[in-house]
Structure 1
Amino acid sequence: MSNVDVLIAALLGLVLGLAYAPTLVWLRRRAELDAGEPEQAPVVSEQLAQAVDLLRSAALVAGPYDEVLHSNPQARTLGLVRGNRVAPDELLDLVRQVRQQRRVLGTMLRLSRAQGTPQLELAVRLRGLSGGMVLVVADDRSAQVRTDEIKRDFVANVSHELKTPVGAIRVLAEAVEQAADDPVAVQRFAARMIHESDRLGELIRQIIELSRLQSDEPLLHPSEVVVDDVIADAAMQCRELAASSSIALTTSGTPALRVLGDAEQLTSAVVNLITNAINYSDPGGRVAVSSRLAQDSDDGYVEISVADNGIGIRSEELERIFERFYRVDFARSRDSGGTGLGLSIVKHVIGAHGGTVNVWSKVGQGSTFTLRLPALDQAIPSDGTVLEPPAQEVKP
């Protein structure tokens, strides 16, 4: 082959290469696209991550595939994040909706939790971000919602309880008017009106007291309280009721026990327990108030117990007796002028003092309510014994 033929062949190869090169490049690029070239994952900026961490509310950033790219501890505590995924299905649906519609969304979300645990009430706000990301901010409103429900129930119960004595007074007033010519009937109806008026006055007094207690924190400015004085004052306030009901009221306990708190509130709690014990005991019964020093690990506690041998409480009712306006025996409570608020006041007072209320009861044998409060600088004997003086009867 001559040099001319070689040169011609080279030129033809060069021309063909230049002609097909764009086609080869296009084919290669098309193959890469068909193979699905991976897209770059979105990245949460440092500023956004810091803002999420600074929020008091629960917050997270969800990625385009529902993965959690960043979250703060509050979100994990509320259970909004499980592993690296958005946990509640209800919240996940909202995330997908915001991502698809590219809009801001605010709503209330109610999430069910473990059995026996109150529902989680969340005020949720979501906003779509670039790259398919979604910002979620959630405020836990569970306590506020439950408080509102309690207020509504309380107002409804108060309205009902107030209507009963008011209605009774009106009916009795009409009866007095119709029996104007019958002095005996007038006297009987008037006595009943006085009873219903006293009941109404007691109900109003306890409502005011409960309202005052809820706005007062006894441990913010506590004082030293001598338990002997609390028991003595409470027994003194109840002695007339005990005498009129033919109930033997006795006091005993370890002397010189002290706690921190409000003496008036603690006395009110013990008075309510003694009053209940008297009202739910038959004539000839006994009510005993005692105190002692107890030890739990290295901590000392003062226990004030009010025991009776009255009608007792069924086991299925023990969990409800501290509810407002709940009565074990409605007829007996109404006859004695009970309001159904006494034990609610007791529970609130003792809880505000950092203590607990325990109940033992058996139908036909009686009940024992024990108030357990942190003791103030009390020393317990090394052998664990607690000396108590003999019981004293409170005489009218």
Structure 2
Amino acid sequence: MSIRTKLLFSYIAMIAVPVVLFGLAVVLAAGLYIRDMSDGLKNTGPRDGPIPFAAFKNLFEGRDELSSGLRFIAEHDPRLLGDPAFLSETEADLAKADAGIVVASGGSIAYASPGLAAKDILDRLEADNKDDRDTGFFNFDSHGGVDLEGIPYIGPEGSPGMLVIASDMEPVARFFKKFVPTVFLSLLLALVLTNGLLTYFVSRSIIKPLYALKDAAGRIREGNLDREIRLRRQDEIGQLGSAFEEMRIRLKDSIGAKVQMEENRKELLANISHDLKTPITAIQGCVDCLRDGIADTEEKRSKYVDMIGSKTSDMDRMIEELLLYSTLDIGKLPFHWEVLDLADYLQRTLEELRIDPRLTGVDITFDRPGKDNVALNHPILVRADREKLHRAILNIVDNSLKHMERDPRQLRFELSGDDDGTVVEVRISDNGVGIPEEALHYVFDRFFRAETSRHPNAGSSGLGLAIVKQIVDEHGGTVEALSIVGQGTSIRIRLPAIATLVDQRGESI
């Protein structure tokens, strides 16, 4: 649930809950105080109505019926007001409604209900309603707790009279004195309680995760990126927590990559120092021999000079490969792309290799799609950098030459393609000593050598196959090593091919 929805529900609850609590408080207070009020009433009739105010209903309905009846009698049949039997029966009905009457005729009190101060009642009505003698009297006495209703009439002899209905209002007044403050306090308490609880829970659901994010930001600021941020929420704060977690992971990966890069740089410097030290030591030894006169013959001097030249060439090759690897690693080496027919390109490369003095005595063969294979008898096109791809092939060949120890030495090139024509594969195989299976996954790592000794072989830098992998990766391809110890090694390069249209006769379009 989103924060916006939570706030909307909380606003609704702040209104609905106090209303419900207020209603319950009204019902409970009314039921309680009406019971107290009923105890003060003489007889209000049936009190088990459907609502707590049934006693009020019964009381006032009974009084209204009696008042209407007595008014009708005073206007149409006033002689009944002098009938003792009628007055006795009426008195019983009035007692049920906690009311009484006073009948005054000819200036004297003809009848008064028990307990009523008839003269005081008449004097009060006379004083409060002296301007309304001809219209009747109606007065609430707020001091005595008695409701007085005066009804003038004309007696049978033509003499004026007054019928006064007195209703006891003290229990009702006592009820409202208790009921109104209780209801007001209940409403106030409901508002305070509801708003307090809702504010607490809603703010807690927002503030608590914000504090968690604050702590997480503090840990990130201090460099502690190992503690996971999990809010387990689906609202906006949960999305913010997910963004924090993603930021933490990326920062951790970035810092880890930076640390790993620094370690790699240190390892690179250590390996360079180690590999350059050997030829430098050899050169230094030759120079010392020449300087000290140990090489006392022309033949010895020529031998030492040749050794210096050889070691210098090895150092130059190592530094060149190191420079190339570093340039590829930081992405600063430009590639010049062109579309090559890979079969024709490999054929020309092999012709150059066959005349290379280093490959004298090596049997070089090339297997390519034959003329009988119509599907593959067309140019196999790839997008490549001619020079960089040539360098990758030469590095593979150099690596093979260093590990071919038995005759006849063989080097085999194979070219093939997938059935759908999207990938082309170049495989270069030798019959050398092979690579142990546990080392195959590391042969393309920089400075890796399968030999346990780090002594460089013929000026090897340990970067040849690492450079091959970088070049192939830049071409969007993959490279893999396959080897069997004692039988030889194959390097398989897979490059994305450029699709060509072939008609039914097998001719490219």
**TM-score of the superposition, structure 1-length normalised?**
0.64
* Structure 2 residue 423 is the aligned partner of structure 1 residue 301: yes
* Structure 2 residue 202 is the aligned partner of structure 1 residue 41: yes
* Structure 2 residue 275 is the aligned partner of structure 1 residue 275: no
Q: 1:359: Cα distance to partner?
A: 1.8
CA contact (8 A) 1:290 1:304 kept: yes
Q: Which residue of 2 aligns with 1:174?
A: 288
Q: Which residue of 2 aligns with 1:77?
A: none
Structure 1 residues 274 and 318, CA gap change in structure 2 (3 angstroms): same
Q: Which residue of 2 aligns with 1:138?
A: 247
- Alignment map for 1:230-241 (pairs within 5 Å): 230-233=346-349, 236-237=352-353, 239-241=356-358
- Alignment map for 1:89-128 (pairs within 5 Å): 95=213, 97=215, 106-108=221-223, 110-111=225-226
Root mean square deviation of aligned Cα = 4.3
Q: Which residue of 2 aligns with 1:79?
A: none
CA contact (8 A) 1:321 1:343 kept: yes
Structure 1 residues 264 and 186, CA gap change in structure 2 (3 angstroms): same
CA contact (8 A) 2:289 2:295 kept: no
* Structure 2 residue 209 is the aligned partner of structure 1 residue 66: yes
Larger Rg: 2
For the residues of structure 2 that align with 1:190 and 1:107, how far apart are their CA atoms? 60
The alignment covers a number of residue pairs equal to 315
Amino acid at match of 1:64: I
- Alignment map for 1:162-241 (pairs within 5 Å): 162-180=276-294, 182-183=296-297, 186-213=301-328, 214-216=331-333, 218=335, 222-227=337-342, 228-233=344-349, 236-237=352-353, 239-241=356-358
Structure 1 residues 351 and 25, CA gap change in structure 2 (3 angstroms): closer
Q: 1:288: Cα distance to partner?
A: 2.6
Q: Which residue of 2 aligns with 1:387?
A: none
For the residues of structure 2 that align with 1:104 and 1:253, how far apart are their CA atoms? 61
CA contact (8 A) 1:247 1:283 kept: no
Amino acid at match of 1:360: L
Q: 1:351: Cα distance to partner?
A: 1.3
For the residues of structure 1 that align with 2:452 and 2:327, how far apart are their CA atoms? 26
Q: 1:165: Cα distance to partner?
A: 2.6
For the residues of structure 2 that align with 1:178 and 1:260, how far apart are their CA atoms? 57
Q: Alignment partner of 2:443: what SS?
A: coil
Q: Which residue of 2 aligns with 1:371?
A: 493
For the residues of structure 2 that align with 1:287 and 1:96, how far apart are their CA atoms? 67
Superposed CA offset, 1:89-125 (max 9, x none):
xxxx9625269xxx89635454599xxxxxxxx9xxx
Q: 1:345: Cα distance to partner?
A: 1.2
Q: Alignment partner of 2:290: what SS?
A: helix
Structure 1 residues 144 and 206, CA gap change in structure 2 (3 angstroms): farther
For the residues of structure 1 that align with 2:459 and 2:185, how far apart are their CA atoms? 100
Superposed CA offset, 1:318-367 (max 9, x none):
01110111112366972322211110111111111111112210110111
Percent of aligned positions with the same letter in both sequences?
A: 21
Q: Alignment partner of 2:476: what SS?
A: coil
Unaligned residue ranges in structure 2 (runs of 5+): 1-114, 118-143, 146-167, 230-235, 371-378, 505-509
For the residues of structure 1 that align with 2:503 and 2:436, how far apart are their CA atoms? 37
Higher share of residues assigned helix: 2
**TM-score of the superposition, structure 2-length normalised?**
0.51
CA contact (8 A) 2:482 2:489 kept: yes
Unaligned residue ranges in structure 1 (runs of 5+): 44-61, 68-92, 114-121, 123-128, 383-396
Q: Which residue of 2 aligns with 1:312?
A: 434
Structure 1 residues 316 and 379, CA gap change in structure 2 (3 angstroms): farther
CA contact (8 A) 1:231 1:289 kept: no
CA contact (8 A) 2:411 2:431 kept: no
